[in-house]
Amino acid sequence: MRQLYIGGSWTASASDEFIDVVNPATEEIIDRVPAGSPDDVESAAGAARRAFPGWSETAASERGKLLGDAAELLKQRSEEIAKTIATDMGAPLGFARKVQTLMPATVLSSYAQLAESHPRESRIGNSMVVKEPIGVVAAITPWNYPLHQIVCKVAPALAAGCTVVLKPSEVAPLAAYALAEIFAEVGLPPGVFNLVSGRGPVVGEAMAAHPEVDMVSFTGSTAAGRRVAALAAESVKRVALELGGKSANVILPDADLALAVKVGVANCFVNAGQTCSAWTRMIVHRDQYDEAVRLAVEAARGYTVGDPFDESTRIGPLVSATQRARVVRYINRGQEEGARLVAGGTERPHERGYYVEPTVFAAVEPGMTIEREEIFGPVLSLIPYTSEDQAVAIANDTKYGLAGAVWAATEDRAVGVARRLRTGQVAINGGRFNPLAPFGGYKQSGVGRELGEQGLEEYLETKAMQL
């Protein structure tokens, strides 16, 4: 049973209620975390406010050293933390080790360097322009990448000189506790980082509305993001939002079809499809459509669903019973609206655990529910097109704009189409994810950017001094 981390100490919550943490592979309760209260938010925000003057004036080199020390400890404990994530979130251990743990360590290391190297002053004519930390940051993070999404917010905020109150997802909170222990061990000053666990409508909303909070950074659903933004607007806080996606994988006729389909299926199914940037819509020329469907079905059959600790597992369970029920509803809806189920479905592959088979739909038309809405499960929709203009139109015909991909015989042609996509990131011919490049979306996929220098800039204010 856990406590909250406020003002440099582990402390009991003002609430006497706890939330069960469930292993999604076994459906067993493995831990309990406090269901925090507005009083806990008050304490954490106060601690962060008191710590802000000292932390913001701490030498950038010292802030960077502390973050660097934390990154090293995170690397040293990566196996232990990966096992924690595989247990409370359900990611296969190999994926939990490499992507869920070591990638956040890389991001943390990058901000240890940027804390000192990112320029804070410039001259424009007779003006000195300086960048200063915005103040107290409320970070509200999701369960699908429970450590990475925390580091994407906390690391740049601390590097900038801000103090932080974190609310991790109550569904998979244990990696957040591991990070809090690391920060305490490396000597982060009291109040610079605070952790309040709890539910979004209680703790998250109290954080977004709190008068001592200067900025809210939220990752989650678009609906919840709208609520956070509305609460923050009452006190005119800065808001950064990383929200949903329905990303398109556009395969042009001259591309390597087999490779594009294979990589596209892998991207759609990564983390059991619980990835906001997943390429869930595969857009293929009508002349190649039947072959693409065949290749996608063949690839899907190679994804073993099972125990996250089994080395042969490629897809673990969904994170909760609620999430599984959501995905099953979408699979049923797809069939009801006329899409053709060609792989997977709603049958349980295992007696226990919140598992869903990797699922592929053919005969998907623009406007169908499974083509429009974010499912957040291992469900791929294949959509035909007849011209490049139509492919671009289908890709852009969504309220989202987070990620996507383009495949073509040449990089130049792929880039030409990518420039027409209204989305924050585009992979060209399978270009790998870069954790140092800015990440964020257009339209209802969010506001602002995470990662790299642009991620750091989100936590800085600009002041001009006329000399």
Query: How far is Cα 94 from Cα 364, in angstroms, rounded to an integer?
Result: 33
90 within 8 A of 318, measured Cβ to Cβ: yes
H/E run at residue 296: helix 289-300
Cα of 260 vs its chain's centroid, Å: 24
Among 268, 276, 450, 458, the active-site one is 276
Return the residue matching tokens 């067993």.
28
Token digits for 15? 């609430």
**Which residues, listed in sequence order, are joined to residue 362 by a DSSP beta bridge?**
340
- The rounded distance, in Å, linking the Cα atoms of 245 and 242 is 10
Instruction: Return the closest-CA partner of residue 259 out of 402, 414, 417, 385.
Output: 414
**Crossing angle for the helix pair 148-160 and 174-186, to the nearest 10 degrees:** 30
* 77/179 Cα distance (integer angstroms): 10
Pairing between strand 281-285 and 379-385?
A: parallel
Could you please report the per-residue DSSP string of 98-139? IIIIIHHHHHHHHHHHHHHHS--EEEETTEEEEEEE--EEEE
242 is catalytic: yes
Token match 């089994």: residue? 310
CA distance 14 to 197: 12
User: Residue for token digits 């990797």?
Assistant: 358
**β 215-219/9-11 pair status:** unpaired
Please count the other Cβ atoms lying within 10 Å of the Cβ belonging to residue 467.
7
Please list the residues that pair with 428 across neighbouring strands. 406
Can you tell me the distance from the alpha carbon of 230 to that of 249, in angstroms, rounded to the nearest whole number? 33
Tell me how far apart the alpha carbons of residues 396 and 403 are, in angstroms, rounded to a whole number: 11
Check 170, 205, 212, 242 and give the catalytic one. Answer: 242
CA distance 79 to 70: 15
Q: What 3-state class would DSSP assign to 94?
A: helix
- By three-state DSSP, how is residue 220 classified? coil
The strand pairing partners of 97, in sequence order, are none
Told to judge if 268 belongs to the known catalytic residues of this protein, a careful annotator would answer no
Q: Pairing between strand 193-195 and 163-167?
A: parallel
Dihedral sign, CA of 8, 9, 14, 17?
Answer: positive
Beta pairing partners, 19: 33
Look up residue 160 and give its two tokens.
Answer: 């900038």
Enzyme catalytic residues: 242, 276
